[in-house]
Structure 1
């Protein structure tokens, strides 16, 4: 009768060795149970699917999709169950024949690389850009033209001054001023609205500084009126004038000539309202 270990003794020795050096999955499972966590708890905390957690605890790393991902899952699960992941990663490397060499980044993302394609000219975009440019040019031209014509034709009303020159009152260059005073035409007199006050200031015989304000006291014009020039002001109720050299000025109020005999060099302050001309 030989003396030796019985099969029961051998099985007991193998069980003790397994407890002393548990596998990676067994170590993670024991740590999870010791922490009072379920597989669902670990899955929710780490976002690792239940099936992968069960497979890793059974030492099946195939569902991980490769050693790189298996290492990441081992590290994540170990931290979740309060284990140091480094010994488990070292054991995993030893069982897999050492730590694999780093995989170059380019092959991993080869499938996602956007390869440039040679394309022909984008005629649609070019046509749209050309149409937009033409529309912008036409709009700018129309807007600028409208501003110019409006500036020429506008008559001062309220706080907006305007200038109108009389062809008969404007002397030609290098010619003597006309001997006769300019008279407003019948159409100009008829055009004066009855519900507003219209004042035309002209300088047929010289030049004078003038200032014009509306009934609110807002300035319509303040400057020098040269010989031969004229300006027209219009307001809903009242025009206030200051003439620096009243003797050089001819006035028409609401289409009618003012016959006052202003002295040369005299400064006059005048106010005109709707209705018949009157000096304020």
Structure 2
């Protein structure tokens, strides 16, 4: 009779190997078949693509895009085929290195506290500075303008007492003969030189366009003669005239008044020489 454990007690305990355990994908597939669901039906109910459902049932979790997404798909598919997802998630974590440890919250908050605060621009100070600058500029401009005005007034006063105005006696422009007034008398016209032809054109009753040329065809005047104005032309031998409204024109040729009664609005072409007043 032996003392101790019997040989039956020393037999090894039955070993349940990993291979005997149903995989996560196989468990999901069996539950789907038992529920009478197709892969298309599960995909439509869970919005998980058909290809991913097939891959998970074949224990291929690479198409999931990572362990986090794989856990989510396992949980969704398990609920669709009426399985408890918790054991399947634990089995998946055990087979794939375990669930990652959560990140402690304290270092994150600590880092957030020591992070320098980013401040925006101080708009209030900028606005105050801008207002001060504008007020200063306006004051300076007003002060400067007042000083300049006083200087200008003093210069004007001095100028009126010491320097005569240059604009009081305008200088006639060169190249233009002096224009006689419309009230020139016959005696003044009679003083015209005898060796030249002198023609005075005046417009006492209206205005008229006139043109005057010398014996060489050089233009002496071409323009509008207004009411009350007059022009005098001289040449050594001949003056050619064109009157746009002859009825408004009074002519004096070589000191004598031309008595022709021109019709209002009539255009007249006239030529006068020395010894006229006969129209040529």
Q: Same fold (TM over 0.5)?
A: no
Instruction: Give the shorter-chain TM-score range.
Output: 0.3 to 0.5
TM-score (norm 2): 0.38
TM-score in terms of structure 1 length: 0.38
